[in-house]
Amino acid sequence: MSDNLPRNNIFKVIGASSLGTLIEWYDFYIFGSLAVIIGHQLFPEDAGASALINTLAIFAAGFIVRPFGALVFGRLGDLIGRKYTFLLTLVLMGGSTFFIGLIPSYKSIGYAAPILVLILRLIQGLALGGEYGGAATYVAEHAPKNKRGFFTSWIQTTATLGLFLSLGIIVITKNILGAETFGDWGWRIPFLLSIVLVVVSIYIRMKMHESPMFSKLKAEGNVSKNPLKESFNNKANFKMVLLALFGATMGQGVIWYTGQFYAQSFLENTCKLDFNDSRYILLWGIAFATPFFVVFGAWSDKVGRKWIMLSGMLLGILFYRPIYQMFLDDTDYTKVEQTDILSANPAQVTSLLIANSTDSLRTISTKVMLKNGASFNRVQIDTVSQTKGILSGKEVIKDKVLPTPVFWKFVGLIFFQILLVTMVYGPIAAFLVELFPTKIRYTSMSLPYHIGNGVFGGLVPFIATLIASFSGSTPLSGLWYPIGIAALSLVIGTIYLSNKRDENIND
């Protein structure tokens, strides 16, 4: 049936599905892209590093509930159809994102602020858990059997493009409003904009028809009566669920989130790069690498899915530590010689009274520009005590702007990491669709995808940051989590996965 569809119909299906999925990813990732600023808004001013860790924990909560969304909405998708299920997930996602933009700060409502955001973040996770499986299944069930990897790879681009869109809107908004206004209230704008994008996407999706395979199944009266039971009580099918999880999606998930989210977090929080520089690097890397989702998806139609995905995992295991060591080495300005300095602005001194105390914090900030085009702020925060005098704080070098050659070197390193993402992620929708029968496909493929990608992958920024904060750890210690998970998945996938493509998914 799908082979007889005119090509423009297939591209219309891909366009409508991809746009909605892209908006859902945009909604989901704004939070992570603004974690540092949101942390300051949701928690007390003196929370320090724990504000970021708590914010990343809220961010991670959205990933943890994704498998539950996969079960709830996957079941609905196999019972009532693909179209109406992912219309519902779109509304839930867009509504939650919009309301996060309206939540008052900690200063206004105390700890009710992070609690309300956590609730909305959980709804976002549930919605995303139902969205991806529906979109991938919908496109795959329209695609010709010999181009399933190529057509579903367009859906795979949406996660990275959603991140690209969120970063782009954040940078534009910040540059228009200025850093201070953006940190005060401007960060809410990317969240509020979501409602416009969602309305457009709902309008487009309302015009779509149901998947031809599901329509045929429904016309013949063969729709599953209990998708959950048929998916997980059937021994052969459950074995496929476990293989998909541990042999593919688990490793794919950590490669995805290390190459994009952890990379951004590492550049901003560990290397202390300037806000715009860290995002421009990621934007360029994404722009250069995104076409490779389609390249590897199409290639998997010719050579199979397995070895492309596993090769991406192997390269991540081998190169993550050297790449992140280069990030550290090239942003180490602690040994700058006096002869390297072009100029240094006079130190700016500000004071802030500590709440419920007679002591105050004195911040001394000096902007330093180097002859090679780099610059940074040298910041020292001292405590001025009425009884103990001045207690000197540790000097921190932050807001680093890279010289042009190093900037493009970092773009290349991010590009390489996202290239690995395209290897593991480009073919995986077709791989998952081909594992399961039509009547329980939505449920069966959604669960391993969201446990692997959402839980194992989504926890990378939180767990890696947490590990790196332990006593005795180094800035690279957090990388052992994605490297270990990818290595485990590589071994299981190599031994147990088949490279054979299932051309007939109309079963």
Residue 383 phi, psi dihedral angles, 5° rounding: -100, 125
pLDDT value of position 3 = 47
Lowest average pLDDT, out of 4-8, 40-44, 98-102, 200-204, goes to 4-8
* pTM recorded for the entire structure: 0.83
| pLDDT classification of 160: cutoffs 50, 70, 90 | confident
Q: How large is the average pLDDT for residues 56-84?
A: 82
Higher-pLDDT residue of 37, 332? 332
pLDDT value of position 280 = 93
Map residue 380 onto helix, strand or coil: strand
- pLDDT surpassing 90 at residue 233: no
pLDDT tens readout for residues 282-329: 999 999 999 999 999 999 999 999 999 999 999 999 999 999 999 999
Q: What angle do CA 454, 457, 459 make, to 5 degrees?
A: 90
Residue 372 phi, psi dihedral angles, 5° rounding: -85, 5
| pLDDT classification of 409: cutoffs 50, 70, 90 | very high
Dist CA 228 CA 230 (whole Å)? 6
Which residue type, as a one-letter code, is found at position 390? I
Residue 500 phi, psi dihedral angles, 5° rounding: -75, 135
| pLDDT classification of 504: cutoffs 50, 70, 90 | low
Contacts of 42 (CB under 8 A, 6+ apart): 51, 54, 55, 58, 105, 106, 113, 114, 117
Q: How large is the average pLDDT for residues 375-386?
A: 87
Contact 297, 427 (CB under 8 A): yes
Lowest average pLDDT, out of 47-51, 344-348, 407-411, goes to 47-51
Contact 361, 369 (CB under 8 A): no
Proportion of the chain above pLDDT 90, given as a percent? 37
Dist CA 151 CA 14 (whole Å)? 7
The two most distant CA atoms of the chain are separated, in Å, by: 84
Dist CA 50 CA 320 (whole Å)? 26
| pLDDT classification of 405: cutoffs 50, 70, 90 | very high
Contacts of 429 (CB under 8 A, 6+ apart): 136, 139, 140, 152, 153, 155, 156, 297
pLDDT value of position 224 = 77
**Count of CA atoms in the C-beta half-sphere (13 A) of 369:** 7
pLDDT value of position 309 = 96
Dist CA 68 CA 133 (whole Å)? 13
pLDDT value of position 450 = 85
pLDDT value of position 505 = 62
